[in-house]
Amino acid sequence: MNPVVLVSFYFLFPVLVIYLCYRFPLINKIGAVILCYLAGMLLGNFLSLPPAAAELQDLLSSAVVALALPLLLFSMDVKAWTRLAGKATLCMLLGTISILVVAFGGYMIISDKAPYAWQLGGMAVGLYTGGTPNLAAIKTALHVSSDVYITMHTYDTVISLIYILFLCSVAQRLFGLILPKFESKCGAAVLEGSAEDEAIDSYKGIFSRKILPPLLGAFALALLILGGSLALSELFPEEYSTAVTILTITTLGIACSFIPQIRRIKKTFQAGMYLIYVFCLVVGSMANLKELFTRVNWQILSFVTFCIFGSLLLHVLLSRIFKIDTDTVIITSTSAICSPPFVPVVANALKNKEIILSGLYTGIIGYAIGNYLGISFSYLLKSFF
């Protein structure tokens, strides 16, 4: 497939998905996020992509999510979010405890068969509190072999997609059986929309003269924020550049939300979500299912699966004890297991944009502590077990 055709598909297919969700209620119940993920996986595994596709996919996925974050944050009500910050921090602490316990359990299960199990434990703790940048940094710090690192990264990508699909589909209803329901601090009209054009998934009138010019201005501002954040990240070591970029984008996006003229621009959230749909399509096409099933390393595959879903289950059970609501648990788990760029994806599926800041906030903390926890955990396993 020609690169130009591929990029065009990435940007045009989400438009079709948005239209189909608007036109057909049954498709809307499935959700744009899941449809884009599944379409991406079909594209990446059953069509022949050009050799340069991997580099293009990596660049495009990073660019669209970095541009989407400011647009998503411009309309945020920060004052309402501050009432949720304490609960989000506690929930993140419970999630961190969960991955430490589960990673130790996973280590004990495979340690006799995998001499690198102590390294897997540290990489899992770093990866599932922070994200891929932590995984890469811990790989270097622990001198993990490239084969083990690439295998774990491949399995994590595929299993994480299954995890995201679960969170975006049935998790809210399932966890709601034992966890309290999220209580909005902004009122139902802001969250769900008292009219169609206020709903967080409505694109009605986005090309009208009243909406489009200010929205283009918001895009220009988002580009300016992205450029400034990338410039600032160049002042830091490479292993911290991603965290610095996301932290700066988030900070500037939040700062802009305090300016009434920016916060009142309509459809900025929807525009950001369109870019997130592009992100989902690209990431889905990067999942190598053939690699997953042709040469299976059962120790690493079982370890990654156990860590992702085992820590999620323990996180939910601990949150029940502390009476933390369903949406906060899901979004905090998302930021820990899959990193902050996936937070808007899941928040949109939950129809709750109030929790986006909580997810980004806890995810950034995870970036900061992931390396320390992961490296320390590995050496504790190596020294004592």
Domain boundaries, the chain: 3-384
282: left (phi over 0), alpha (psi -120 to 50) or beta: alpha
pLDDT at 254: 84
pLDDT at 292: 65
Q: DSSP readout, 159-187?
A: HHHHHHHHHHHTHHHHHTTTSPPP--SS-
pLDDT at 226: 93
Predicted TM-score (pTM) above 0.85: no
Burial class (CB in 10 A: 0-12, 13-18, 19+), 237: exposed
297: left (phi over 0), alpha (psi -120 to 50) or beta: beta
First to last CA, the chain: 50
Q: Please count the residues of the chain.
A: 385
CATH class for the region spanning 3-384: mainly alpha
Q: Return d(Cα 67, Cα 65) in angstroms, integer.
A: 5
Q: Return d(Cα 82, Cα 135) in angstroms, integer.
A: 30
Question: Nearest Cα to 130, choosing from 365, 379, 376, 377?
Answer: 365
Q: Return d(Cα 329, Cα 2) in angstroms, integer.
A: 42
Q: Return d(Cα 96, Cα 104) in angstroms, integer.
A: 12
Cβ neighbours of residue 330 closer than 8 Å, sequence gap 6 or more = 167, 171, 172, 175, 346, 350
Q: Return d(Cα 127, Cα 133) in angstroms, integer.
A: 8
Question: Nearest Cα to 363, choosing from 272, 246, 282?
Answer: 246
Question: Nearest Cα to 124, choosing from 341, 309, 315, 319?
Answer: 309
Dihedral in degrees, nearest 10, Cα atoms 104, 106, 107, 112: 150
185 in Cβ contact with 354 (< 8 Å): yes
Structure tokens at 358: 């909580």
193 in Cβ contact with 344 (< 8 Å): no
Query: Tens place of pLDDT for every residue, the chain, 385 residues?
Result: 678 889 999 999 999 999 998 888 888 877 787 788 889 888 888 887 777 788 888 888 888 888 988 888 887 777 766 666 788 899 999 999 999 999 999 999 999 988 999 999 999 998 998 776 677 778 877 888 877 887 888 788 889 889 998 998 899 999 999 999 998 765 433 333 333 444 556 788 888 889 999 999 999 999 999 999 999 989 988 766 776 787 788 789 889 988 989 988 999 888 988 998 898 888 888 877 776 667 788 899 999 999 999 999 999 999 999 999 999 999 999 999 987 778 888 888 888 888 888 888 888 788 778 878 888 899 899 888 7
Structure tokens at 368: 């900061």
pLDDT at 187: 46
Amino acid at 210: K
167 in Cβ contact with 327 (< 8 Å): no
**Radius of gyration from C-alpha coordinates of the chain:** 20
